[in-house]
Amino acid sequence: MGILDLTAVQLGKAIKEKKYTALEAMEAVLEQIDKTEEDLNCYVTIDKEAALEAAKKAQEKIDAGELTGPLAGVPVAIKDNMCTKGMKTTCSSKILGNFIPQFSSEAVIKLEEAGAVIIGKTNMDEFAMGSTTETSAFGATKNPRNPEYVPGGSSGGSAAAVAADECFFALGSDTGGSIRQPASYCGVVGMKPTYGTVSRYGLIAYGSSLDQIGPLAKDVTDCATVLEVIASHDCKDSTSVKREDTDFTSALVKDVAGMKVGIPRDYFTDGLDTEVKQAILDAAKKLEEAGAIVEEFDLSLVDYAIPTYYTIAAAEASSNLERFDGVKYGYRAKEYDGLHNMYKKSRSEGFGPEVKRRIMLGSFVLSSGYYDAYYLKALKVKAMIKKAFDEAFSKYDLILGPVAPTTAPKLDSSLSDPIKMYLSDIYTISVNLAGLPGISLPCAKASNGLPIGVQMIGNVFEEKKLIRAAYTLEQILGDLELGGVRA
Amino acid sequence: MSKNYETVIGLEVHVELATKTKIFCGCTTAFGGAPNTHTCPVCTGMPGSLPVLNKKVVEYAAAVGLATNCKITQKCKFDRKNYFYPDNPQNYQISQLYLPICRDGHVDITLADGSTKQVRIHEIHMEEDAGKLVHDEYDDVSYVDYNRSGVPLIEIVSEPDMRSAEEVIAYLEKLRQTIQYLGASDCKLQEGSMRADVNLSIREVGASEFGTRTEMKNLNSFTAITHAIEGETERQIDLLEAGKEVEQQTRRWDDNNGESYPMRSKEDAHDYRYFPDPDLVPLNISDEWLDEIRSNQPEFKEEKAIRYREEFGIPDYDIGLITDSKKLADIFEEATAECGEPKKVSNWILGETMRILKEKSLDPEDITFSPANLAKLIKLVDGGTINGSVAKEVFANIFDEDVDPEAYVEEHGLKQVNDEGALKACVEKVIADNPQSVLDYKGGKVQAIGYLVGQTMKAMKGKANPGMVNQLLKEMLDK
Amino acid sequence: MANVIDDETIDYVGILAELELSDEEKEQAKGDMSRMLDYIDKLNELDTTGIEPMSHAFAVSNVMREDLVTNGDGSEATLANAPEKTDDTFIVPKTTIS
C-alpha cells in the first residue's frame, strides 16, 4: 500500500508518527497529478512551488509541535469558488480569469490553521451553475472512474481529484447537490452540512440562502474529521450559526440499532434507474440488518423542489453576479462605447451560456410585475417543503434515498437540454431549500462500471446521526472496488 | 394665469448617521482621507465578502423614528435594490423596501405667521450610501472612490403634505433640529450629510387628484431648495397652461443657472428587482430594546425651553434661539454650570458667537471651542482682570483655536490696568495733548469726554479699566 | 408553451441584467426562458394561501456588530485587481449623462 492509498486521517497519523513527511505527501500528490491531470482536468490552478514550500513549512511546524491536529501536513484541494489569498480564484469563469483575492475564505483559513496544505484550485461548473462540470470556461473535468463520463457537478473537480488521488481530500460547495452528486458519480464521500455550519465568508456566492461548504473525501471518517475542522461560528457571516456540537468525529460509531430510517416512496418513481433503485434498497436492507428500523413513507412535494429551487437560486444569482462588471476586478471588454456598453460587453463576453441563462431567468422573476407570481411563490413553496421535512423528522432519525436518478452521464450529453439536466438534481435540491445536512457515499458499482451513491438526509444540526449511519454502512459494505485511473 | 394652482410637495430626505463605522463593515466613516483608504472587501463588493449590520445604525434609525412619532417595525428586514452604477460596488444597494424600520409618523412645523402644520412621515428606512465619482475634465473617464460606500443612511420619506417652499424649509429645519438633538447626524446640507430630494406636482386648487410629479435632485442648500421649488412650480404651470403634460421624471437642479434638467437614460429601467437580502438575517427589535432606545432619548427643544425658563430665568427670546440648536444649548448649559452666570453666557452666545458664525458662514454644529473656556472668559471679565473689548479679542481666539483665556491673557499681557497712578499719568498726558477737546467739554459739550476716553484707552493699548478712566477724566476736568 | 417570451421582454431583461445577446443567443434565450417558466408554473398547482414566504430555512435574527473601527487603510487590496486604475481610484467610462 503506497502513500496515495492512505486516507487523509491515515496520512495525518503517519506524518505524526514520522512514517512520512508533509513534503513527501505533497510530492506524491503532485506526481500523481503529473500522471493523470492531462486526461482528467481536475484543477484550474496548481502552484507546485508554493505547494511544496507550504508543505515544508507545515512539516517544520509539525516537528516543532505547533501542529498536532489530524489534518496536519495533509494535501488538500479547494474548489475554485473559495477565495485563497494570493492564489487565483476564478469560479471557472472567464470573467474572473485573472482574479487574485486579497483574503482567504474562512473555511480555507480553518484548514490552514489545522496544518492542511493547499495543492491548488479545482475545476467546477462556472459559478457553480451546472451538474456536470462541463460549463467551466477552462474545459470539462472527466470522471476518473471512466474518463468518457462526467464527474458530476458543480464540485466535479474536487470529487474527481479525490477519486483520482490527486489530493487526499477536497472542499466543495453545495447549493443544490453540488457536493453530493459529484461524490456519487465519482465514488467518493461528500457531505453538505446544515446551512450556517461552515462560514460562507470568502465563498463566491451563487445562491446565498442555499450555498454551503462541505468536504469531499475518501471515506466517512475523513469527512467527519474535515467537517469538524471547518465548522465554526464566524462573526463575518451573518448566517453563520453558533453550535456546540461540532465534535463530529465522536459520531464515528458502527451502531444503528434502533435508528429510524425513512425511505420516501416518492423518490422511487419512473425517472429512477432500476439499477440505482436496487442499490439504494440494498443499502437500506443492510442498515436494517444492522438493527435500524426502516420504513417507507410519503415525503410529498418532491416534484416542486426543482422549480422552487431554480426560481430562488436564479434570482439570488442574478443579484450576486451583478458585481462582476469590469470595474473593480476581473474581465473588462477590450472595446466598448461608454459605461453601459462596457458593462454589457464585459459581462456578455465574460460569462458562459449557462450563467447567462440563469442570470436572465433570475432577473426576470424579480422584475416588476413578476416578483409575487414567481419569486414570492417559490419562497412560499419552500416553506411548505421545509414543513414536509419537519413532519418526516418527527418520525425518522434520517431519510435515505438515491443521490441522483442515474449513474454519471456521458460527456457532452447533458448541456443541450437544460431542464433534463436540472431534473437530475431532484433528490438533492430540497435538502438545500430546507437547510438540512446530507451525505452521499458510494454503495455499489453499476454494471457500466460506474459508482452508485446513496444519500442520507438528517434534520438540521443532526450531522452526527448521518455520520453514524454512513460510517456503519461504509463498514458493512467494505471495499466496493470501484477502480479508476489508478487501478 | 387663468387658473388657480397649488403646489404639492413631498420630500425624500437622506441623512448620514453619525456612527463611527459603516453600516455593514468596520471601516471608518470619517470624512476626508485619500481615495479608497477607508475601504475593505465588504464596502467594495469583493467576491466572497459578506455584510454584518452595525447595531448603532438600528438604534439611531429607531431613535429618529420615535422622535418623529413613527411606529417602529419591530420585525424588519433588509432588501437589495438592484441597479448598475459604478458608485455602487455590488451593483445593488442594501436598503429596506418591504419592511422599513419606521412607518406612519409626523412632525409639527411652525410657520412665519405663527401657524402650525403637521407633516406626515410615510416611512424611514435604513440603507447604505454610495461611493464618489469624480469626472475627468479632459478625458472621457470618471474616477471611483469608495470611501463613502457603505456609510449608513436613513431615508425619511414624507407624505405629499407640503404646499410651499416655506413649509419645506420649516419641515427640513425641524428634522435637522430633531436629528441633531439625537446626535444621530450633524445634518449638514453643504457636506451632503443631509440631502433632500423634492417630489413636486401641480394641481388646481380644490382638485382631489394629484398631478404628475417630478423628482428634483442635487439640492445642497436651503436656498437651492427654495429656488428649485419656485423654478419647478413655474415650469410645470407653464406646461399645463400651454396644454402640455408634465412628464414623470427625475430632474437635476443646477443652482448656478437656476434651471433643472432631466436625468434620463434609456439604460435606466427603474426596475430595481427588490428582494430580501439573503446575506442578512431579519431584525427583531424587542420591546426591551425599544424601551432602552426610548429611555435614551434626549430632552428636545420644547422640554428644554420649559426647563430653562424655570432654572435659568433668561428671556424667552434667548431661550428660543439657544434651544434651536442642540449644540448651542449644550454650550449654554455647560458654560453656565461652570460660571453660574446664565444671562452672561446667553449674551456671549447670542452676541459674539452668532456674529462670528454669520461672518464665517458656519453652523452652530461647526463650533469647536469648549464651554469651559467661555466660562473662564466670563469670570475674567467679572473679576476685572480684563475689560470688555479685550474680552472680545480673547473670545475670537477661543472661537478659532479654543485657547485657554487665562493663559492667553497672561501670555499677551492683556490684563486690565487698574493701577491709579499709571492711569492718572496717562490721563494727564491725554488732557495736555488735546486742549481743544478739553475746551469743548468745559464749554458744555459733555460728549467730548468720549473722545478723551478713547485716546486714553488707545494710549493704554486698550487695557485700561474704562470705568476708572472715565472717573479720573471727570475728576480732573471738573476740577 | 404557455409562457411566450417576446423580443421586447428579452431586450428588457438584457437591460436589467446588463447582458448583450447576439440574435442567435436571443432566440435560444427566448426558448429557454419560456420552457423554464412553463416548468416553474408547476408551482401554481399548489395552494399557498396563508403561507409565510421563507427566506431563511431557520430562524436566526439580530446578527449585529458593535460600532467599532476594525479596518485600516484598505486601498492597496481594494485596487489590487482593478482592470483600469489610477494610483488611488478605479477608472470607468465617463458616467455623466450627456
Query: Which residue in B40, B143, B266 is closest to C71 by CB distance?
Result: B40
Partnered with residue B158 across adjacent β-strands are: B121
Q: What is the pLDDT of residues B454-476, one digit of tens each?
A: 888 888 888 888 888 888 888 88
Question: Is the residue at A210 inside a domain?
Answer: yes
The answer to whether C56 contacts B278, with C-beta atoms less than 8 Å apart, is: yes
Domain of B434, in residue numbers: 420-478
Q: Which residues of A touch C41 (CB under 8 A)?
A: 307
In a domain, A321, yes or no: no
Q: Does A326 touch chain C (CB under 8 A)?
A: yes
Q: How far apart are the first and last CA of chain A?
A: 12
Using a CB-CB cut-off of 8 Å, the residues of chain B touching C93 are 140-142
Same domain, B59 and B101: yes
Active-site annotation holder among A178, A184, A240, A440: A178
Which residue from A minimizes the CA distance to B275?
A: A366
Full-model pTM: 0.92
pLDDT tens for A161-179 read: 999 999 999 999 999 999 9
Domains contained in chain A, number? 1
**A-proximal residues of C, 48-77, CB under 8 Å:** 48, 51-58, 60, 63, 65, 77
Mutation test of the interface with chain B: which of A109, A319, A363, choosing the one with the most B Cβ atoms within 10 A? Answer: A319
* Same domain flag for B312 and B407: yes
CA atoms within 13 A on the CB side of C8: 1
Q: CB distance from C89 to chain B under 8 Å? A: yes
Q: Do B332 and B199 fall into the same domain?
A: no
Choosing from B364, B393, B411, the residue where a domain stops is B411
* Closest chain A residue to B265, measured at CA: A340
Cβ within 8 Å, pair B51-A238: yes
Range of the domain at A22: 3-255+438-444+451-477
Which residue is closest to C9 within chain A, CA to CA? Answer: A364
CA of B282 vs chain C CAs: smallest distance (Å): 5
Chain C nearest CA to A420, separation (Å): 11
3-class SS string, chain A: CCHHHCCHHHHHHHHHCCCCCHHHHHHHHHHHHHHHHHHHCCEEEECHHHHHHHHHHHHHHHHCCCCCCCCCCCEEEEECCECECCECCCCCCHHHCCCCCCCCCHHHHHHHHCCCEEEEEECCCHHHCCCCCCCCCCCCCCCCCCCCECCCCCCHHHHHHHHCCCCCEEEEEECCCCCHHHHHHHCCEEEECCCCCECCCCECCCCCCCCEEEEEECCHHHHHHHHHHHECCCCCCCCCCCCCCCCHHHHCCCCCCCCEEEEEHHHCCCCCCHHHHHHHHHHHHHHHHCCCEEEEECCCCHHHHHHHHHHHHHHHHHHHHHHCCCCCCCCCCCCCCCHHHHHHHHHHHHCCHHHHHHHHHHHHHHCCCCHHHHHHHHHHHHHHHHHHHHHHHHHCCEEEEECCCCCCCECCCCCCCHHHHHHCCCCCHHHHHCCCCEEEEEEEECCCCCEEEEEEEECCCCHHHHHHHHHHHHHHHCCCCCCCCCC
Residue A296 lies in a domain: no
Active site residue A79: yes
Does the CB of A318 have a partner CB in chain C at under 8 Å? yes
Q: Which chains touch C (3 or more CB pairs under 8 A)?
A: A, B
One pLDDT digit (tens) per residue for chain B, 479 residues: 568 999 999 999 999 999 999 999 999 999 989 999 999 999 999 999 999 999 999 999 999 999 999 999 999 999 999 999 999 999 999 999 999 999 999 999 999 999 999 999 999 999 999 999 999 989 999 999 999 999 999 999 999 999 999 999 999 999 999 999 999 999 988 888 999 999 999 999 989 999 999 999 889 899 999 999 999 999 999 999 999 999 988 999 998 888 888 886 555 668 999 999 999 999 999 999 999 999 999 999 989 999 999 999 899 999 999 999 999 999 999 999 999 999 999 999 999 999 999 999 888 988 999 999 999 999 999 988 888 888 999 999 999 999 999 999 888 878 877 788 888 888 888 888 888 888 888 888 878 888 888 888 888 888 888 888 888 888 888 77
Taking CB atoms and an 8 Å cutoff, what residues of chain B touch C63?
Answer: 52-53, 280-281
Binary contact (B27, C71; C-beta < 8 A): yes
Residue B183 and residue B210 share a domain: yes
Question: What is the three-class DSSP state of B438?
Answer: helix
**Closest residue in chain B to residue C87, using alpha carbons only:** B35
Selection from B291, B342, B297, B292 nearest residue B318 by Cα: B342
List, for chain A, all residue ranges whose pLDDT scores fall below the cut of 70: 486-487
Q: With contacts defined as CB-CB under 8 Å, which chain A residues touch C10?
A: 360
The β-bridge relationship of strands A117-122 and A75-79 is: parallel
In this structure, are B402 and B424 located in the same domain? no
Is there a single domain that holds both residue B195 and residue B128?
yes
Single out the catalytic residue among A92, A104, A105, A154. A154
First to last CA, chain C: 43
- Residue B46 sits at the vertex; the CA angle it makes with B42 and B51, to the nearest 5 degrees, is 30
Interface contact flag, B281 C61, Cβ < 8 Å:
yes
Task: Tell me which of A90, A324, A327 to substitute to probe the interface with B (most B C-beta atoms closer than 10 Å).
Answer: A327
Nearest CA in chain A to C35: A419
- Residues B60 and B170 grouped into a single domain: yes
Query: B145, C89: Cβ pair inside 8 Å?
Result: yes
Q: What is the ipTM of this complex?
A: 0.96
A26 with A49: CB under 8 angstroms? no
CB-based contact (8 Å) between C4 and chain A?
no
**Residue A342 covered by a domain:** no
Please indicate, yes or no, whether residues B178 and B277 belong to a single structural domain of this protein.
yes
In this structure, is the dihedral angle defined by the CA atoms of residues A124, A128, A132 and A138, taken in order, positive or negative? negative
Contact across the interface for B84 and A105, Cβ inside 8 Å: no
- Closest-CA distance, A480 to chain C, in angstroms, reads 36
Min Cα distance A343 → chain C (Å) is 6
Closest by Cα among A108, A137, A118, A105 to A49: A118
On chain B, the residues whose CB falls within 8 A of the CB of C78 are 36, 39-40, 44, 46, 146
CB contact under 8 A, A418 and C36: yes
Q: Residue A221 — φ and ψ, nearest 5°?
A: -60, -45
Tell whether A348 is covered by a domain.
Answer: no
Chain C residues close to A235, C-beta within 8 Å: 65
pLDDT recorded at residue C97: 57
pLDDT number for residue B410: 85
Question: Residues B370, B239: one domain?
Answer: no
Q: Among this protein's residues, is A440 annotated catalytic? A: no
Residues B213 and B9: their CA atoms lie apart, in Å, by: 9
- The rounded mean pLDDT for chain C is 92
Which candidate in C15, C18, C73 is best for mutational testing of the A interface (most A CBs within 10 A)? C18
Residue C9, pLDDT > 90, answer: yes
Ordered domains of chain C (ranges, CATH): 7-45 (1.10.20)
Among A residues 134-193, those touching chain C with beta carbons less than 8 Å apart:
none
Chain C residues touching residue A330 (CB < 8 angstroms): 81, 83
| Listed residues B290, B308, B328: the one ending a domain | B290
Same domain for B150 and B262, yes or no, is yes
Is residue A7 in a domain?
yes
Residue B281 to residue C95, Cβ atoms within 8 A: no
Same domain as B439, residue B307: no
Chain C residues near residue B134 by CB distance under 8 angstroms:
89
A397: cell is 432519525
Q: Do B281 and C74 touch (CB under 8 A)?
A: no
- A101–B46 CB contact, under 8 Å: yes
pLDDT in the model for residue C98: 44
Same domain, B153 and B217: yes
Q: Which of B51, B86, B273 faces A366 most closely, judged by CB atoms?
A: B273
- A394 carries an active-site annotation: no
Q: Are residues C39 and A419, on separate chains, in Cβ contact within 8 Å?
A: yes
In angstroms, what separates the C-alpha of B315 from chain C's closest C-alpha?
A: 41
Q: Using DSSP bridges, classify how beta strands B75-76 and B79-82 pair: parallel, antiparallel or unpaired.
A: unpaired
Mutate to test the interface with B, among C12, C69, C91, C96 (most CBs of B within 10 A): C69
Which chain B residues have a beta carbon less than 8 Å from that of C86?
Answer: 143
pLDDT for residue B477: 82
CATH code for the domain of A248: 3.90.1300.10
- Check if C12 contacts B (Cβ < 8 Å): yes
Q: How many domains does chain B have?
A: 3
For residue A416, tell me if it sits in a domain. no
Beta bridge partners of A448: none
Which chains lie within 8 Å of chain B at 3 or more CB pairs, if any?
A: A, C
Q: Is residue A171 part of a domain?
A: yes
CATH number of domain containing B469? 1.10.10.410
Q: Which pLDDT does position B265 carry in this prediction? A: 59
- pLDDT at residue B365, rounded to an integer: 86
Q: For residue C62, which residues of chain A lie inside 8 Å, CB to CB? A: none
